């Protein structure tokens, strides 16, 4: 190459500089070309092979994002291989370029690992089982560990120390690290408790009164649980809040047929009467309401609706309790059906001579 450069007429002192410039450009061009060929030829080939198999895991693990990210590691390997042949007369330059290449290689490797870990989320579409949630939590922990390892390795490359030496020195700083990552550690423990006890899954409908949350769980991570309310507002709570506090999971009700409704109505004792046959009007009313509820199209008659005297005599009147199950499960339909039934109950008592107890307040006092 030096002889070819000399033929251009350059003086002898500039020939080595031009040679190094050409070798550097060729090295980077070869590295770029290798990465480009991997993305344009090897990646499509692997994707095509993965799609032809019946297994689902290879479509998830060997997806386009993972393969493209992995192909960006190849140029660093090419540069690392060619460094001794290019800068063999300049060890200091070789050392600097080698460190930069090692840092790039570390970043791309960790990035590929994180993309690979994220690809497992595609296996957990829809309501997430306990095993899938464990996997999801484990993936989040692995991502944090990958980032931590990346930082340690990059620092070790910059200061020219062994990563093992830095890891050994972290023992003294463990208290500071635990303080810095205390939310993550608490979230991890709380997330494991949620999943190990099968308390929460993606798609569950929960209510968290302390946070004003009433909707479906959209995302669960180490540090937060995202809930979409019925009005499409988003509420974010921590797993620690769910474990330490109280929340209500409606998934059991959603999986079963119907929603139970229990309502109490207080009737004035002075309106209770007995007819000629010795049957009280409130007895006839209860019997009528039980039969009416069994035949109501919005009530599950097979669950035997019940109308009974619920309590001992109270100052507020005679308490009659209505227990029935509605077909509707969504909030709006459920509330409307309940209102229709209770409005009929309030109005029908008049036909039997019953009056709902109502406290009268004398405004003159």
Low-confidence winner among 77-86, 281-290, 316-325 (lowest mean pLDDT): 77-86
Given this model, what pLDDT does residue 41 score?
Answer: 87
Residues contacting 217, CB < 8 A, separation 6+:
200, 201, 202, 203, 204, 205, 206, 225, 226, 227
pTM over 0.85? The answer is no
**What is the C-alpha to C-alpha distance for residues 219 and 238, in angstroms, rounded to an integer?**
11
Say whether 123 sits in a helix, a strand or coil.
Answer: helix
Tens-place pLDDT, residues 34-81 = 988 888 888 888 888 777 777 666 666 777 888 888 888 888 888 888
CB-CB contact of 199 with 191 (8 Å)? no
Structure tokens at 210: 């302390």
Return the bridge partners of 31, or none.
Answer: none
Say whether 236 sits in a helix, a strand or coil.
Answer: strand
* Nearest residue to 262 (alpha-carbon basis) of 310, 314, 216: 310
Name the band, by pLDDT with cuts 50, 70 and 90, for residue 339.
Answer: very high
Between the CA atoms of 45, 51, 53 and 54, what dihedral angle is there, to the nearest 10 degrees? 170
**What is the C-alpha to C-alpha distance for residues 142 and 223, in angstroms, rounded to an integer?**
14
Tens-place pLDDT, residues 91-119 = 788 888 888 888 988 999 998 888 888 87
Given this model, what pLDDT does residue 141 score?
Answer: 75
Tens-place pLDDT, residues 224-268 = 788 888 778 888 888 878 877 778 777 666 656 678 889 999 999
**What is the C-alpha to C-alpha distance for residues 365 and 361, in angstroms, rounded to an integer?**
9
The position carrying tokens 């992995």 is 70
Provide φ and ψ at 306, rounded to 5°: -130, 135
**What is the C-alpha to C-alpha distance for residues 106 and 100, in angstroms, rounded to an integer?**
10
Alpha helices in 62-211 (DSSP H): 64-71, 74-86, 91-118, 130-159, 163-169, 174-180, 182-196
Return the bridge partners of 226, or none.
Answer: 219, 236
Tens-place pLDDT, residues 182-224 = 776 777 777 777 766 667 777 788 888 888 888 888 877 767 7
Given this model, what pLDDT does residue 294 score?
Answer: 93
* Nearest residue to 194 (alpha-carbon basis) of 145, 245, 228, 229: 245
Name the band, by pLDDT with cuts 50, 70 and 90, for residue 293.
Answer: very high
Give percent of the chain with pLDDT exceeding 70: 80
CB-CB contact of 324 with 283 (8 Å)? no
**What is the C-alpha to C-alpha distance for residues 286 and 322, in angstroms, rounded to an integer?**
9
pLDDT at residue 344 is higher than 80: yes
Of the CA atoms within 13 Å of residue 341, those in its CB half-sphere come to: 29
Structure tokens at 247: 């929340």
Mean per-residue pLDDT of the chain: 80
Given this model, what pLDDT does residue 273 score?
Answer: 92
pLDDT at residue 132 is higher than 70: no
């Amino acid at each position: 190459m030096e002889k070819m450069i000399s033929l251009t007429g350059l003086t002898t002192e500039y020939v080595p500089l031009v040679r190094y410039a050409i070798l550097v450009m060729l090295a980077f061009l070869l590295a770029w070309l290798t990465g480009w060929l991997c993305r344009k030829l090897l990646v499509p080939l692997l994707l095509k092979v993965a799609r032809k198999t019946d297994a689902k895991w290879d479509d998830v693990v060997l997806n386009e994002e993972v393969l493209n990210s992995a192909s960006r590691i190849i140029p660093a390997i090419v540069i690392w291989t060619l460094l001794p042949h290019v800068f063999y007369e300049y060890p200091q330059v070789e050392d600097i370029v080698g460190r930069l290449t090692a840092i790039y290689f570390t970043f791309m490797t960790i990035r590929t690992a994180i993309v690979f870990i994220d690809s497992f989320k595609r296996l957990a579409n829809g309501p997430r089982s306990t095993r899938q949630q464990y996997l999801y939590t484990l993936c989040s922990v692995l991502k944090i560990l990958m980032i931590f390892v990346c930082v340690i390795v990059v620092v070790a490359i910059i200061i020219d120390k062994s990563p093992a030496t830095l890891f050994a020195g972290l023992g003294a700083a463990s208290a500071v690290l635990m303080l810095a990552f205390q939310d993550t550690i608490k979230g991890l423990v709380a997330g494991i408790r949620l999943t190990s006890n099968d308390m929460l899954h993606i798609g569950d409908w929960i209510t968290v009164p302390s946070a004003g949350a009433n909707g479906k769980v959209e995302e669960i991570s180490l540090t937060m649980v995202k809930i979409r309310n019925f009005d499409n507002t988003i509420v974010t709570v921590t797993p620690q809040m769910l474990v330490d506090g109280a929340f209500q999971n409606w998934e059991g009700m959603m999986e079963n047929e119907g929603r139970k409704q229990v309502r109490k109505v207080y009737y004035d004792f002075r309106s209770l009467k007995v007819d000629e046959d010795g049957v009280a009007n409130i007895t006839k009313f209860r019997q009528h309401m039980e039969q009416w509820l069994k035949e109501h199209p919005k009530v599950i008659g097979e669950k035997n609706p019940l109308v009974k005297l619920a309590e001992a005599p109270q100052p507020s009147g005679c308490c009659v309790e209505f227990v029935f199950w509605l077909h509707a499960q969504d909030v709006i339909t459920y509330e409307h059906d309940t209102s229709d039934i209770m409005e009929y109950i309030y109005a029908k008592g008049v036909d039997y001579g019953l009056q709902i107890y109502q406290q009268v307040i004398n405004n003159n006092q």
